[in-house]
Chains A and B, each alone.
Chain A
Amino acid sequence: MSPEPHPAQSEILPPLINLKPVNWFFDVNRAMSLWPVTFGLACCAIEMMAVSMTRFDIARFGAEVFRPSIRQADLMMVTGTVTKKMAPAVVRLYEQMPAPKFVLACGNCAISGGPFKFEGQYGIVEGVDQLIPVDVYVPGCPPRPEAILEGVFSIQEKITGRRWWPGPEEMPSDPAPPAKAAT
């Protein structure tokens, strides 16, 4: 006997315990463990790889667990040009993601179409926010890995309401390079 076919249950229920400290606790935990989905569209994806590698190391902030399955991911980095051919797949991926979900539009193409936006163009979606809600925009063509890190910090700030890490202006300036010994 095969079970009756039934549609997916994906409604988001209101919280059973709607207390401020509890919500704050879960929000902080969510902010500290944003798992991105392994998903790249164009050259910005190369920067997304760079940000998880040695010099920039998004792992320091707990966001290096690139989950291949969208069901286990929290953060969708739309890295690159969204073509009209790709748009249904992007929307579908977003719809498959379980509820506390965040989108980071990375690079000029994902923000507005970037260099591909001109009169008479026919193949590009001019900004991924025409398809799915976007939380944070990271400009750049492509953005530096530091900018992507900054985008992740902004999402953390958006979730918890405060910024967690010092910005570049608050960091102590680099010490002067040691004087080279005269040769």
Chain B
Amino acid sequence: MALSLAVFVQIIVAVLLVIGLMVGNAVVMVYVERKACGFIQRRPGPFEVGPRGLLQAVCDSMKLLGKQIFVPGNIDWPLHFLAPVVAFLPVLLLYLPIPFGPYLTSLQVDDGILLILAFAGLGAVSNILAGWSSNNKYGLLGAARAVAQSVAYEIPMIMALLAVIFMTGTMNLTTLVEGQGGWPWQWNIVRQPLACFIYVVCLVAETNRAPFDLPEAESELTAGFHTEYSGMGFALFFLSEYANMLLVSFVCAVFFLGGWRGPFLDGFWWTFAKAYAIMFFIVWIRWTFPRVRFDQLLNLNWKWLLPLSILNLWLTAVVVKLAN
């Protein structure tokens, strides 16, 4: 693909739109999360700031903007300031191959999912930078946990996606969506239910969300790898966490839930509706399940998800071979 001017302009516009999507998503999800938490615990949640508390997330972000940036003593300061940026920037790239709608794809990449999986690993790098550079024992412990967790859960995640790739024979996300139909029984979740289950479990663990939020477990590690970050550093970590959640939800919608195809009127609204349904699911289980212990987390991965995903991959390969 020649990098012509049109492609360049397209990428610039796409990146700007993605930044808008990320910020808007964080504002909406902070509100949704606190409201959902409130309703689950039988209280109204944010209610008085703005109509029905709608301005709450805006106030929070403005407050974080105005907060003092506290630089702790004896930190590794280049890395300390680099870590939130490293958490934030790769996510911009990850949104480029996602097909939001039939024509709404920032960049047509043949190996779109490969690009996403390769650069999603940078999230763990930002966590370990943050934990290491903070000169804080809780930060370091949180970073160690974050790396162990995301390295472990990436493997069954890739195996689950690989089963779908074996079945459909493509890594291009647009082709993947076109291979599925509009109705729910034509989606890949029907043909690969185990892969979808494994992917959803890994999705929660990869984004460090409860019940797998061990890297920032409040009762054990104060705030884990972002213990020493105040103001905008913390806000950037928060932003990239929500952006990562949305990204894995989009990948799940594209791979298993038929992307932009719906029972009627195909379009980007189906992708967004499915992705936000998964986002709500993540919020829901966060406020429903208690946190697991770290050994339980790793045992679940190495003893259950990994063998199951290998079995699933092997079965898929056999069936594909026989069917051909």
Contact = CB atoms under 8 A, between A and B. Distances in A.
Interface of A: 3, 5-10, 12, 25-26, 28-30, 32-33, 38, 53-54, 57, 59-62, 64-65, 67-69, 71-72, 74, 96, 98-100, 164-165
Contacts of A5: 73-74
Contacts of B110: none
Given A8-B73, A62-B59, A165 B48 contact: yes
B73 A64 contact: no
B136 to A, nearest CB: 9
Contact of A71 (B37, B56, B70, B219): B70
A71 B228 contact: yes
A62 B62 contact: no
Contacts of B60: 29, 33, 62, 65
A56 B77 CA distance: 42
Interface in B132-158: none
A62 to B, nearest CB: 5
B230 A60 contact: no
Contacts of A98: 67-70, 230-231
B100 to A, nearest CB: 31
Contacts of B226: 69
B218 A9 contact: no
Interface of B: 34, 37-38, 41-49, 53, 55-56, 58-60, 62-63, 65-74, 76-77, 218-219, 222-223, 226-231, 234
B218 A32 contact: no
Contacts of A96: 70
B63 A30 contact: yes
Contacts of A65: 34, 60
B77 A60 contact: no
Given A3-B76, A32-B56, A54-B43, A26 B62 contact: yes
A10 B71 contact: yes
Given A8-B71, A64-B34, A69-B226, A32 B59 contact: yes
B59 A68 contact: no
B62 A29 contact: yes
